[in-house]
Amino acid sequence: YSIVVDRFLNADTAGDENVTVDEDPEMRFGGDFQGIQDNLDYIKEMGFTAIHLSPVFKFADDDYLGYDVESYDEIDPGLGGEEGLNNLVDAAHDMDLEVFVDLPAVSADGENTTDDVNVNEIYGDYLNEKDIDILDLTDESVQSGYQDMVQSFVDDFNIDGVSMMVAQDNVDASEILPRGIKTYGFLTTEDAVAGGFDYMASESMRTELAESFATIDREVPEIPDAENMLLVDHWFSERFTSHAVEENMFPGTRVKQVMTYMYSHPGPVSMLYGTEVAFNGKEMPTIHPQMDLWTDQELV
């Protein structure tokens, strides 16, 4: 269950200094680790076995997604800081839920960057708007330092796995991520190339699934091998249910059918928060509205 932390639930108002959503929907909503922790039962009862969090390192006040990193040495205080993350991970593990965290691959100081960026339009526009520089993860001088940073983060917070929205070609996860945890790579263009991840989510498979299940009487792709991660949207794509809306189809039925297909897959599958209430945005920030916990019980 993939969650944009700031957009789930604001349960701890102590960290709301930069919450200005009433003035600008592209600013922070105030969602935090406590809000997720308070709803682990809700996630568990839907059948999920893991929660997947958007980036948690300290990021800019005018960002809500977490990629405009200011420091890899600090957990974002607006999300709940170190204590909040520790409490969430402990509570999740007590319920036999694994915790995965998405890793930004950006430069916090403008050094060791690359112009070789291969991302989709939504991701690219976001990077340009926030003036975010991508780390060159193919540079050996960057790889070891990044790997050490991730290892420390995983060890300090008992994280079960990490993901990365891969932003440049020829990234090798074995060179930048620690051993002994699950690793997931998300590609956002059909020609992107990366390796070394335990599981990969390809853009071509994502779009094929989204279009196949948007309406009736469309060819369904063969279920891929277990090392593929299946999903129909992520935080840099249009929402799956936007396809159903365009086809004038009932989103609830479309979600149930595509999830039946995904549950048949022998590897991991991911659903973006709010799919169960048919969020259907097509661009940022409408892709990431505040969570509405008045859930469609038929979908659950």
What is the tens place of the pLDDT at every residue in 50-61? 999 999 999 999
Who contacts 207 (Cβ-Cβ below 8 Å, separation ≥6)? 190
Residue 205 identity (one-letter amino acid): M
What is the tens place of the pLDDT at every residue in 126-149? 999 999 999 999 999 999 999 999
Say what the pLDDT of residue 300 is: 76
Q: What is the mean pLDDT of the chain?
A: 94
230 forms beta bridges with 269
The alpha-helical segments, DSSP class H, found in 31-120 are 33-37, 40-45, 81-94
Average pLDDT over residues 200-214: 97
Percent of the chain with pLDDT over 70: 98
259-276 per-residue burial string, b: 16 or more CB within 10 A, e: under 16: bebbeeeebbbbbbbbbb
Residue 39: both structure tokens together: 């709803």
> Quick count: other Cβ atoms within 10 Å of Cβ 148?
11
Residue 271 identity (one-letter amino acid): M
The percent helix, strand, coil of the chain (3-state, each to 5) is 35, 15, 50
Say what the pLDDT of residue 182 is: 97
Residue 258: both structure tokens together: 């595509």
Percent of the chain with pLDDT over 90: 90
Contact in structure between 233 and 274 (CB atoms under 8 Å): no
The pLDDT of residue 156 is above 80: yes
What is the tens place of the pLDDT at every residue in 251-285? 999 999 999 999 999 999 999 999 998 899 999 99
Residue 59: both structure tokens together: 């990021």
pTM over 0.85: yes
